[in-house]
């Protein structure tokens, strides 16, 4: 499906790819773009086992659309939270893994969206930052909550208070992203990872993701109980029987998804 603002494609079986498609505006995330993504997520969750999000041109996404935001009232800002804060939350909790293939600028809302993905692979050309304070506003779709969890409170405060933009190697060192690759290899490498993920038993992936996400804010003991209940559940699946048997029989497993 192709539209003006985003392109949805399936580069491989079970792998969906969303590409932000407003390169002339550095893929600034306006409401229309966010709505288009939001409407597609349910379909993608059903049709794919892994989702990749990337941007066309020299940006992943250079933030929320500043022009569109320039007349926004507090009331309107709250009213569209379904497509900002809660869209990111939806991405974070999608039942399939989401990989951000960060090709360039990931600033403000673009960085927040990348932080909502499960894994971040970045090109050497990628740049990261939360420069909202330069505009007299502040991060409002997860930035102040997630950046400290990725890179620690002190460094998050430094980046948010100064609006400093960091390169991919610094982002990797800080733990904001998981891998940096040559720009030309970004999609190839991301697809490699997506392919590996898409061949895993889907129910096990779904429950492992749920175990990690749901327990991040729980005390360890509660988290361990939650994990145990999900892990036990998987022993009633065909895929667990198949995976365990295939190891013993020294062959590749054939997972069915149940």
How many other CB atoms are there within 10 angstroms of residue 216's CB atom? 8
**In b/e form, how buried is each residue of 222-248, taking b as 16+ CB within 10 angstroms?**
ebeeebeebeeeeeebebbeebeeeee
Active site residue 112: yes
37 touches ligand CAA (CB under 6 A): no
Contact between residue 212 and residue 230 where contact means Cβ atoms under 8 Å apart: no
Q: Which of 55, 97, 131, 202 binds ligand CAA (CB under 6 A)?
A: 131
Name which position in 7, 31, 80, 137 contacts ligand CAA (CB under 6 A).
137
Residue 15 lies near ligand CAA (rule: CB under 6 A): no
Interface with ligand CAA in residues 80-119 (CB under 6 A): 105, 107-109
142 binds ligand CAA (CB under 6 A): no
Residue 192: other Cβ atoms inside 10 A: 12
**Antiparallel, parallel or unpaired: β 166-167 and 127-129:** antiparallel
List the one residue from 34, 49, 60, 132 that touches ligand CAA (CB under 6 A). Answer: 132
Whether 132 sits among the annotated catalytic residues: the reply is: yes
Query: Which is nearer to ligand CAA, 31 or 231 (by Cβ)?
Result: 31
Which among 127, 218, 199, 109 has a CA at the least distance from the CA of 166? 127
- Contacts with ligand CAA by CB under 6 A: the residue count is 20
Enumerate residues 6+ apart whose C-beta is below 8 A from 246. 252, 253, 254
What crossing angle do the helices spanning 85-92 and 109-116 adopt, rounded to 10°?
Answer: 30
Note whether 34 binds ligand CAA by CB under 6 A.
Answer: no
Give the binding range for ligand CAA (CB under 6 A) out of 20-28, 114-122, 144-152, 190-198. Answer: 20-28
Three-state DSSP at 98 gives strand
The correct pick among 67, 82, 241, 245 for binding ligand CAA (CB under 6 A) is: 67
**Closest to 186 (Cα-Cα) out of 13, 47, 43, 17:** 17
Shortest spacing between CB 108 and ligand CAA, in angstroms: 2
Cβ of residue 85: shortest distance to ligand CAA, in angstroms?
10
Residues at the interface with ligand CAA (CB under 6 A): 25-26, 28, 62-67, 105, 107-109, 131-132, 135, 137, 139-141
Which residues form the catalytic set?
112, 132
């Amino acid at each position: 499906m192709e539209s003006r603002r985003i392109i949805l494609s399936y580069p491989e079986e079970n792998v969906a790819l969303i590409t932000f498609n407003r390169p002339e505006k550095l893929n600034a995330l306006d409401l229309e773009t966010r709505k288009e993504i939001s409407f597609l997520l349910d379909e993608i969750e059903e049709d794919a086992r892994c989702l990749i999000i990337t941007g066309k041109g020299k940006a992943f996404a250079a933030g929320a659309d500043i022009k569109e935001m320039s007349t926004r009232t507090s009331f309107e800002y709250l009213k569209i939270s379904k497509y900002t804060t809660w869209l990111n939350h939806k991405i974070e909790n999608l039942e399939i893994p989401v990989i951000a293939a960060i090709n360039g600028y990931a600033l403000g809302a673009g960085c927040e969206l990348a932080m909502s993905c499960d894994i971040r692979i970045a090109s050497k050309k990628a740049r990261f930052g939360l420069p909202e304070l330069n505009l007299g506003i502040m991060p409002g779709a997860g930035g102040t909550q997630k950046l400290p969890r990725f890179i620690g409170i002190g460094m998050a405060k430094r980046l948010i208070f100064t609006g400093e933009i960091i390169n991919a190697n610094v982002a990797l060192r800080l733990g904001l992203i998981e891998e940096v690759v040559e720009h030309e290899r970004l999609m190839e490498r991301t697809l490699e990872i997506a392919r590996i993920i898409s061949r895993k038993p889907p129910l096990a992936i779904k429950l492992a993701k749920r175990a990690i996400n749901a327990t991040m804010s729980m005390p360890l003991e509660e988290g361990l109980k939650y994990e145990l209940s999900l892990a036990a559940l998987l022993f009633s699946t065909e895929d667990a029987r198949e995976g365990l048997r295939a190891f013993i029989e020294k062959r590749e497993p054939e997972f069915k998804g149940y």
